Amino acid sequence: MDSKEKKQGSQPEQTAAKGKEALKSFTDSPELASRMGRIKHKIMVLSGKGGVGKSTVAANIAIALALEGKKVGLLDSDFHGPSIPTLLNLNERRPTTDGTSIVPIDFSENVKVMSIGFLLPKRDDAVIWRGPMKMGVLKQLLGDVEWGELDYLVIDFPPGTGDEPLSVAQLIPSADGAVIVTTPQDLSVSDVKKCINFCHQLHLPVLGVVENMSGLVCPNCKTIINIFKSGGGEKMALEMNVPFLGKIPIEPAIVEASDNGTPFIYHYSETEAGKSFAAAIKPLLDLPDRKTEEKNDPEKTDSESTTTTIAIPLSGGLLAEHFGHCDEFAFYTVDLEARHIIGSDTDQAPPHEPGILPQWIEEKGAHVIIAGGMGTRAQELFANKGITVTIGAPEEKPEKLIADYLEGTLKTGDNICTH
């Protein structure tokens, strides 16, 4: 590489820098700040994979909040499977414009809806767009839609942890956090763990896990039959130290309501599933107000908002099987957006005494811990200090664990510590 290339940087580096600059310019724009500043709470509904009923959960969460007297917006940002128009019988409706802004559709007095599906010429049209065009549409949905004064904006995300969910998450300033949807079986739970790690990497709080399709309610005897098992999502939430919001059983009425475009929780509030939806939103009603100015703080540098420090307990150069019995800790400073390591350091572990490690790791500036096994009491202490813990990581070299974590491919198993 000649001196000119070194000075200017490679083409991929220049492209990444331009993309980062464009993202910051959009999220810092006065127009977006003004629109989002009129919304008290922004809740993202995510899943590690498709087919878990994420959109059904998102729609019923929005309606359940409205039934509590809240003003709610529901944004469907799923490009390839926008389901909200069907779930709410809005396929034939189209948003209007007031000349400067897009006016969302009024589903009811307290619920406004906007979906990518409304922008398609025909209901069954496939979205064959490249990344830049998708990003442009996402910016338009967030920056140009006049939501007005809202208590909650519920965003139905694309499935997975790829570019599209990442783009949506990065474009929304000061989100309260994410509700993660899974089904009970191991295959779904495994993918949802990646989704939770995705949230950790973006410093996005996990508000809780919903275990959907948790048993089938027999329409005759009302007995619950666990056709997809039960409890997998609840167990996973406990292992990963995130809240559990409840189990939603399968009810034939959910299918009927979804196909008819009628809100299930409104018409079937006294069913087991209806009661479960109502219970799931209770923690969301207690969320503290957040200030959108947090993201636009001029004293916060760009590097500060995209870097974090990860602590890994080591024994013999590999991840220690038991957190409290390690020889030393490795500390990695990483850029979450660029997905690379900025710097690293190791330090001898302090004495294994109650309360010592949480305080010491906090003083070292770590915000994330990758661990093998960790007791529940230790998890609580770290949670109280705002330190995120990923449990059940394999006995690997720390560089490998960091690389997998940054790529969202870190595989985790059971927590071997039960104390």
Residue with tokens 């949802």: 192
Average pLDDT, stretch 260-287?
Answer: 89
Range in 57-61, 193-197, 266-270, 383-387 with the lowest mean pLDDT: 383-387
The gap from C-alpha 144 to its chain's centroid, in whole angstroms, comes to 23
Across the chain, mean pLDDT equals 80
pTM: 0.65
What span, in angstroms and rounded, lies between the C-alpha atoms of 70 and 40? 11
Alpha helices in 282-392 (DSSP H): 282-285, 302-306, 356-363, 376-384
CATH for 29-294 is: 3.40.50.300
Q: What is the pLDDT of residue 293?
A: 42
How many beta carbons lie within 10 A of that of residue 148, not counting itself? 14
For the chain, the domains span: 29-294, 302-407
Amino acid at 151: D
Average pLDDT, stretch 19-40?
Answer: 69
Query: Comparing 29-294 with 302-407, is the CATH topology the same?
Result: no
Residue 16 has pLDDT above 80, yes or no: no
- Give the DSSP H or E segment for 255: helix 252-260
Q: What is the pLDDT of residue 298?
A: 39
Amino acid at 67: L
Residue with tokens 């001898």: 348
Instruction: Dig out the tokens for 260 from the structure.
Output: 């008819």
Q: What is the pLDDT of residue 42?
A: 92
Confidence label for 402 from pLDDT (cuts 50, 70 and 90): very high
Q: Give the residue from 152, 228, 162 showing the smallest Cα distance to 189.
A: 228
Residue spans of beta strands (DSSP E) within 260-339 = 307-315, 318-319, 328-335
- For 302-407, which CATH superfamily applies? Dinitrogenase iron-molybdenum cofactor biosynthesis domain (3.30.420.130)
What span, in angstroms and rounded, lies between the C-alpha atoms of 264 and 223? 20
What span, in angstroms and rounded, lies between the C-alpha atoms of 368 and 361? 10
Where b means 16+ CB within 10 Å and e means fewer, 265-288 reads beebbebbbbebbbebbeebeebe
Range in 129-133, 221-225, 340-344 with the lowest mean pLDDT: 129-133
The predicted-structure confidence for 351-397, as pLDDT tens digits, reads as follows: 877 678 888 888 888 889 999 988 877 887 887 777 888 888 999 99
Q: What is the pLDDT of residue 220?
A: 74
